[in-house]
Amino acid sequence: MTGKEYCALYKKSKDRAYDALFECYCDYVYAIVYNKLRSAASREDIEECVSDIFADIFFGYDTASSFAGDMKGYVGTVAKRRAINAFHSLAARSGHFSEEAEEKLFNIGSDDDIEHDSDMAETRSILISKINELGEPDSTIILQKYYYDRSSSEIAEQLSMKASAVRMRAARALDKLKTTLASAGITL
Protein backbone atom coordinates (compact mmCIF):
# COMPACT_ATOMS: atom_id res chain seq x y z
CA MET A 1 0.00 0.00 0.00
CA THR A 2 1.34 3.41 -0.87
CA GLY A 3 0.94 6.56 1.15
CA LYS A 4 -1.16 8.02 -1.64
CA GLU A 5 -3.54 5.04 -1.63
CA TYR A 6 -3.82 5.13 2.15
CA CYS A 7 -4.57 8.87 2.20
CA ALA A 8 -7.26 8.44 -0.48
CA LEU A 9 -8.91 5.66 1.55
CA TYR A 10 -8.58 7.70 4.74
CA LYS A 11 -10.41 10.63 3.14
CA LYS A 12 -13.26 8.34 2.02
CA SER A 13 -13.57 6.31 5.22
CA LYS A 14 -11.30 6.11 8.23
CA ASP A 15 -12.58 2.63 9.06
CA ARG A 16 -11.83 1.29 5.58
CA ALA A 17 -8.38 2.89 5.69
CA TYR A 18 -7.64 1.21 9.04
CA ASP A 19 -8.94 -2.15 7.77
CA ALA A 20 -6.86 -1.90 4.57
CA LEU A 21 -3.76 -0.95 6.55
CA PHE A 22 -4.27 -3.86 8.91
CA GLU A 23 -4.97 -6.30 6.06
CA CYS A 24 -1.88 -5.23 4.15
CA TYR A 25 0.65 -5.16 6.99
CA CYS A 26 -0.69 -7.44 9.73
CA ASP A 27 1.63 -10.37 9.00
CA TYR A 28 4.62 -8.08 8.55
CA VAL A 29 4.05 -6.27 11.85
CA TYR A 30 3.30 -9.51 13.70
CA ALA A 31 6.59 -11.03 12.44
CA ILE A 32 8.56 -8.01 13.66
CA VAL A 33 6.89 -8.00 17.06
CA TYR A 34 7.18 -11.75 17.49
CA ASN A 35 10.91 -11.67 16.72
CA LYS A 36 11.49 -8.92 19.28
CA LEU A 37 9.22 -10.20 22.07
CA ARG A 38 9.20 -13.99 21.77
CA SER A 39 11.63 -14.46 24.67
CA ALA A 40 9.91 -12.03 27.05
CA ALA A 41 6.22 -11.82 26.25
CA SER A 42 3.10 -13.90 26.23
CA ARG A 43 0.95 -14.28 23.14
CA GLU A 44 -1.48 -11.71 24.55
CA ASP A 45 1.35 -9.21 25.07
CA ILE A 46 2.48 -9.71 21.48
CA GLU A 47 -1.05 -9.22 20.14
CA GLU A 48 -1.52 -6.14 22.30
CA CYS A 49 1.73 -4.69 20.96
CA VAL A 50 0.58 -5.35 17.37
CA SER A 51 -2.69 -3.54 18.10
CA ASP A 52 -0.82 -0.63 19.65
CA ILE A 53 1.39 -0.39 16.57
CA PHE A 54 -1.58 -0.13 14.23
CA ALA A 55 -3.13 2.50 16.50
CA ASP A 56 0.17 4.44 16.45
CA ILE A 57 0.27 4.28 12.66
CA PHE A 58 -3.40 5.15 12.24
CA PHE A 59 -3.32 8.14 14.58
CA GLY A 60 0.27 9.20 13.87
CA TYR A 61 0.46 9.06 10.08
CA ASP A 62 0.26 12.48 8.48
CA THR A 63 -2.46 12.11 5.85
CA ALA A 64 -1.72 15.61 4.61
CA SER A 65 1.84 14.61 3.66
CA SER A 66 2.83 14.33 0.04
CA PHE A 67 4.50 10.95 0.60
CA ALA A 68 3.31 8.69 -2.21
CA GLY A 69 5.70 5.73 -1.82
CA ASP A 70 5.31 2.36 -0.16
CA MET A 71 4.45 2.64 3.54
CA LYS A 72 6.34 -0.54 4.44
CA GLY A 73 9.40 1.34 5.69
CA TYR A 74 7.31 3.59 7.91
CA VAL A 75 5.24 0.69 9.23
CA GLY A 76 8.37 -1.39 9.88
CA THR A 77 10.09 1.44 11.74
CA VAL A 78 7.08 2.09 13.96
CA ALA A 79 6.72 -1.66 14.62
CA LYS A 80 10.40 -2.14 15.53
CA ARG A 81 10.50 0.84 17.86
CA ARG A 82 7.24 -0.04 19.61
CA ALA A 83 8.30 -3.70 19.98
CA ILE A 84 11.66 -2.72 21.46
CA ASN A 85 9.94 -0.37 23.91
CA ALA A 86 7.51 -3.15 24.83
CA PHE A 87 10.40 -5.55 25.39
CA HIS A 88 12.13 -3.11 27.74
CA SER A 89 8.87 -2.45 29.56
CA LEU A 90 8.10 -6.15 29.99
CA ALA A 91 11.64 -6.93 31.12
CA ALA A 92 11.58 -4.11 33.67
CA ARG A 93 8.15 -5.12 34.95
CA SER A 94 8.97 -8.79 35.33
CA GLY A 95 12.32 -8.18 36.97
CA HIS A 96 13.85 -11.34 35.55
CA PHE A 97 15.66 -12.51 32.48
CA SER A 98 14.48 -14.98 29.88
CA GLU A 99 15.97 -18.48 30.01
CA GLU A 100 18.23 -17.57 27.11
CA ALA A 101 19.49 -14.44 28.87
CA GLU A 102 20.00 -16.37 32.12
CA GLU A 103 21.99 -19.01 30.28
CA LYS A 104 24.22 -16.35 28.74
CA LEU A 105 24.59 -14.70 32.14
CA PHE A 106 25.78 -17.91 33.82
CA ASN A 107 28.12 -18.85 30.97
CA ILE A 108 30.28 -15.75 31.19
CA GLY A 109 33.91 -16.79 31.19
CA SER A 110 36.40 -15.30 33.61
CA ASP A 111 38.39 -13.77 30.75
CA ASP A 112 35.39 -11.66 29.59
CA ASP A 113 35.67 -7.96 30.26
CA ILE A 114 32.31 -7.34 31.90
CA GLU A 115 33.04 -3.67 32.54
CA HIS A 116 33.89 -3.07 28.88
CA ASP A 117 30.80 -4.97 27.73
CA SER A 118 28.64 -2.92 30.08
CA ASP A 119 30.17 0.33 28.81
CA MET A 120 29.58 -0.74 25.21
CA ALA A 121 25.95 -1.62 25.96
CA GLU A 122 25.41 1.77 27.59
CA THR A 123 27.08 3.51 24.65
CA ARG A 124 24.88 1.62 22.18
CA SER A 125 21.78 2.57 24.17
CA ILE A 126 22.73 6.25 24.13
CA LEU A 127 23.58 6.06 20.44
CA ILE A 128 20.19 4.58 19.57
CA SER A 129 18.33 7.18 21.63
CA LYS A 130 20.30 10.01 19.96
CA ILE A 131 19.59 8.54 16.52
CA ASN A 132 15.87 8.39 17.37
CA GLU A 133 16.02 12.04 18.45
CA LEU A 134 17.05 12.99 14.89
CA GLY A 135 13.47 12.38 13.78
CA GLU A 136 12.21 10.99 10.51
CA PRO A 137 13.51 10.36 7.91
CA ASP A 138 17.00 11.09 9.26
CA SER A 139 16.93 8.37 11.91
CA THR A 140 15.76 5.80 9.36
CA ILE A 141 18.46 6.88 6.91
CA ILE A 142 21.22 6.60 9.52
CA LEU A 143 20.02 3.19 10.73
CA GLN A 144 19.59 1.82 7.21
CA LYS A 145 22.95 3.17 6.03
CA TYR A 146 25.19 2.32 8.98
CA TYR A 147 23.39 -0.53 10.76
CA TYR A 148 21.89 -2.42 7.83
CA ASP A 149 24.66 -1.35 5.41
CA ARG A 150 22.22 -0.29 2.70
CA SER A 151 23.26 1.93 -0.18
CA SER A 152 21.84 5.40 -0.70
CA SER A 153 19.91 4.21 -3.74
CA GLU A 154 18.31 1.35 -1.75
CA ILE A 155 17.33 3.75 1.04
CA ALA A 156 16.06 6.28 -1.49
CA GLU A 157 13.83 3.67 -3.08
CA GLN A 158 12.47 2.63 0.32
CA LEU A 159 11.74 6.21 1.38
CA SER A 160 10.65 7.48 -2.06
CA MET A 161 13.47 10.00 -2.20
CA LYS A 162 16.34 10.66 -4.57
CA ALA A 163 19.68 9.01 -3.77
CA SER A 164 21.38 12.41 -3.73
CA ALA A 165 18.84 13.65 -1.16
CA VAL A 166 19.52 10.59 0.99
CA ARG A 167 23.28 11.21 0.85
CA MET A 168 22.80 14.88 1.77
CA ARG A 169 20.43 14.08 4.64
CA ALA A 170 22.77 11.35 5.85
CA ALA A 171 25.72 13.76 5.94
CA ARG A 172 23.73 16.42 7.78
CA ALA A 173 22.21 13.90 10.19
CA LEU A 174 25.65 12.46 10.92
CA ASP A 175 26.95 15.96 11.74
CA LYS A 176 23.99 16.53 14.10
CA LEU A 177 24.53 13.11 15.64
CA LYS A 178 28.23 13.79 16.27
CA THR A 179 27.33 17.05 18.00
CA THR A 180 24.67 15.51 20.23
CA LEU A 181 26.90 12.54 21.06
CA ALA A 182 29.78 14.88 21.93
CA SER A 183 27.50 16.71 24.35
CA ALA A 184 26.71 13.32 25.92
CA GLY A 185 30.44 12.62 26.25
CA ILE A 186 30.72 10.14 23.39
CA THR A 187 33.13 10.64 20.51
CA LEU A 188 33.13 8.65 17.31
**Digit-coded pLDDT (tens) for 95-106:** 555 555 545 434
Note the pLDDT tens digit of each residue in 9-30.
Answer: 788 888 888 888 888 888 888 9
**Residue 32 backbone zone (phi > 0: left; psi -120 to 50: alpha; other: beta):** alpha
Name the domain count of the chain: 2
Owning domain of residue 27: 1-107
One domain, residues 77 and 148: no
One domain, residues 3 and 94: yes
Task: Return d(Cα 91, Cα 116) in angstroms, integer.
Answer: 23
CATH of the domain at 146: 1.10.10.10
- Where does the pLDDT of residue 146 fall: very low under 50, low under 70, confident under 90, or very high at 90 and above? confident
Q: Cβ of 113: how many Cβ atoms within 10 Å? A: 9
One domain, residues 100 and 119: no
pTM of the model: 0.48
C-alpha pair distances (Å), 59 with each of 14, 56, 178: 10, 5, 32
Position 102 scores a pLDDT of 44
One domain, residues 11 and 64: yes
Position 32 scores a pLDDT of 86
One domain, residues 102 and 14: yes
